[in-house]
Amino acid sequence: MITFDKLYIGGRWTEPTEPGLLETRSPHDRSLVGRAAHAAPADIDKAVAAAREAFDQGPWPRTAPAERRKVITRFNELYAARADEWADLTTAENGSARWFTGWAAAALPEQTGSFLRAAETFPWEETLPRAEGARARTVVRREPVGVVAAVIPWNAPHQSALVKLVPALLAGCTVVLKASPETALSTLVLADLFAEAGVPEGVLSIVVAGRETSEYLVSHPGIDKIAFTGSTEAGRKIASIAGRQLKRVSLELGGKSAAIVLADADLDAMAEGLKFLSFGNNAESCVAHTRILVHRDRYEEAVAKLKDLVESLTVGDPADPATFIGPMVRAEQQRRVRSYIDLGIEEGARLVTGGPDLPEGLDGGYYVRPTLFADVDNAMRIAQEEIFGPVIVVIPFDDDDDAVRIANDSPYGLGGGVWSADEERALATARRVRTGTFSVNGAPPSFDGPFGGYKGSGVGREFGSVGLGQYVEFKTISV
Angstrom distances, CA of residue 18 to CA of 42, 51, 151, 382: 9, 21, 21, 42
The answer to whether residue 252 is catalytic is yes
Spatial CB neighbours of 17, under 8 Å, sequence gap ≥ 6:
39, 40, 42, 43
The catalytic position among 252, 284, 386, 462 is 252
Spatial CB neighbours of 464, under 8 Å, sequence gap ≥ 6:
114, 115, 117, 118, 446, 447, 448, 449, 450
36 contacts 188 by C-beta, under 8 angstroms: yes
Radius of gyration of the chain from its Cα atoms, rounded to whole angstroms:
23
The answer to whether residue 286 is catalytic is yes
Angle at 107 between CA 1 and CA 68, to 5 degrees: 90
C-alpha to C-alpha distance for 284 and 226, rounded to whole angstroms: 23
Q: Which conformational region is residue 463 in: left (phi greater than 0), alpha (psi within -120 to 50 degrees), or beta?
A: left
The catalytic position among 93, 173, 284, 286 is 286
CA atoms within 13 A on the CB side of 148: 32
238 contacts 178 by C-beta, under 8 angstroms: no
21 contacts 36 by C-beta, under 8 angstroms: yes
Calculated CA dihedral for residues 272, 274, 276, 277, nearest 10 degrees: 150
Residues annotated as catalytic are: 252, 286
